[in-house]
Amino acid sequence: MADTAASPFPAPHPDLADLAEAVAGQLGRARADLADLVALPSVHGAHPEACAQARDLVRTLLAGLPVPGLGPDSVEVVETSDGSHAVFAHRPAAPGRPTVLLYSHYDVQPSGDPAEWTTPPWELTERDGRWYGRGAADCKGNLVVHLTALRALAALGGSAPDTPGGDDDEADPRGADPLDGLGIRLVVEGSEETGGGGLDDLVASRPDLVAADAILIVDSGNVSAGVPTLTTSLRGIANLVVVVDTLSAGVHSGQFGGAAPDALAALISILASLRDPETGATTVDGLDFGGEWTGRPYAEEAFRADAGILDGVEPSSAAPVADLVWARPAVTVLGIDCPPVEGAIAAVQPRARALVNLRVPPGMDPLEAQDLLAAHVQRRRPWNARVSVEKETVGHPFSSVPAGGSDPVHGLLSECLAKAYGAREVAEVGSGGSIPLCTALREAHPGASIALFGVEDPAAAIHSPDESVDPREIERIALAEAAFLQRYR
């Protein structure tokens, strides 16, 4: 691994010295596996052959894990309702021991225009200490975390370390089992990026496939490279397609413009009503915009850098950044159907459409929020234009720790993350993104603890050209996960 000096990574805590050495010994294999995975453009719905190859590679990788109880017979591939395939591996727990589920996905976003990439998107390339390629971080890099953690534990061998309340003198009857009888489930899905709901449906119909006491969703990341982070909340999603019709056909803008109702202008007027022009606040009638984030703040200067805000352009001033991106609803116009500038003709437009994205924070019902958005759009139509809305499937918001409560899994995982990064504490943050699977898992197994973390720092540029991962993040997240699996009781 190349020397990387962009940000300091203190040495792991001495308690993890042996395990850290075992993880470091797996990094060459980790890079090779990531290179093989990145080479496959596994965009669900766009490249079926590459998705099939990625599925088969994941099956091979899971079947080859050198952990007792995991192997070819432990792996199952299941087709889901959206045509994708999820790969499962299961090692049953010994009597009295819990089960941990490790989640990731092998599908990726499209690469977009290859000309916007510095190096080929489907080739893992090292540059300035980072590994570049589509999926290097989201989420093939996180899949490699699971492989690396389990291989390191197998290489280390032996039983779990002493834990508080344990009997130091009691012999371990399983001897060489590096996981001391812990049950393991690995779940690697194939359509997370398209939101098709395939795995969600499968979880609802076959909850046995995901039965666990602790669920580690490794599809998130750190607030910055080298800062261990747990994501404790996710916003939900409630989208609408807004359609405006005003004319039976387009008419000449010189002959009819000024009196003829312009569908595109009507749509623009409706969309403009969704945000305050001064503060940027979301202004959907009846939608609560007063939420406050009580955890770690999000400094405006850090947000400006993470979001790539241009010099002189101001972010929303409606509230502190953390409130706006983690605790309050937000409306974003994702796309508009209208004539492009190139080749446009002088005509008043008869029809226009827009896809409106509404994110809702924990505690807010996405169906009710979607209804409020639809009613707002209808009330704001100018000139009595014909406005219809198409409601898309909603995703519910999620909070990993119950309000006012604590969670022993989060406590242990926080300790392991801090020690893996040589840090004094772990940052706990929210996410404006949505992972509907979390809600499906909680509904299937309400007693399970669910934690979100991963390798995706802000510099990773996930979903964008030049996506990358810092290999030290793979190393440290794998170390933290391995330490958790050693110690979880």
Question: Out of 147-156, 161-170, 243-252, 360-369, which region has the weakest mean confidence (pLDDT)?
Answer: 161-170
Q: What is the pLDDT of residue 4?
A: 41
The answer on pLDDT for 167 being more than 60 is no
Q: Which two tokens stand for residue 162?
A: 């002493």
The whole-chain average pLDDT of the chain stands at 92
Catalytically active residues are 107, 192
Q: What is the pLDDT of residue 7?
A: 55
Please give the model's pTM, rounded to 2 decimal places.
0.84
Contact between 194 and 82 (Cβ < 8 Å) = yes
Q: Which two tokens stand for residue 71?
A: 């192997």
Instruction: Give pLDDT tens digits for 229-279.
Output: 999 999 999 999 999 999 999 999 999 999 999 999 999 999 999 999 999
Cα–Cα distances (Å) from 389 to 245, 385, 452, 468, in that order, read 12, 13, 34, 38
The answer on pLDDT for 143 being more than 80 is yes
- pLDDT confidence of 309, banded at 50, 70, 90? very high
Provide the CATH number for the domain formed by 14-235+397-487 in this structure: 3.40.630.10
Task: Average the pLDDT over 425-439 and give the result.
Answer: 85
Question: Out of 18-27, 203-212, 310-319, 424-433, which region has the weakest mean confidence (pLDDT)?
Answer: 424-433
Do 14-235+397-487 and 236-289+329-391 show the same overall fold?
no
Instruction: Give pLDDT tens digits for 99-133.
Output: 999 999 999 999 999 999 999 999 999 999 999 99
The answer on pLDDT for 170 being more than 60 is no
Please compute, for residue 347, the number of CA atoms within 13 A of its CA located in the half-sphere on the CB side.
Answer: 15
Q: Residue 466: what are its φ and ψ, rounded to 5°?
A: 60, 40
Question: Out of 126-135, 187-196, 307-316, 353-362, which region has the weakest mean confidence (pLDDT)?
Answer: 187-196
- Helix, strand or coil for residue 388? strand
Sheet holding 125-127, edge to edge: 125-127, 130-132, 468-469
CATH 3.30.70.360 fits domain 236-289+329-391: yes
Q: What is the pLDDT of residue 437?
A: 87
Q: What is the pLDDT of residue 196?
A: 66
Instruction: Give pLDDT tens digits for 174-231.
Output: 347 999 999 999 999 999 998 768 999 999 999 999 999 999 999 999 999 999 999 9
Comparing CA positions, the residue from 88, 39, 331, 85 lying closest to residue 211 is 88
The DSSP bridge pattern shows strands 427-431 and 229-234 to be parallel
Q: What is the pLDDT of residue 402?
A: 60
Q: In whole angstroms, what is the distance from residue 34 CA to residue 143 CA?
A: 9
- pLDDT confidence of 431, banded at 50, 70, 90? confident
Instruction: Name the one residue in this structure whose structure tokens are 């850090």.
Output: 302
Domain boundaries, the chain: 14-235+397-487, 236-289+329-391
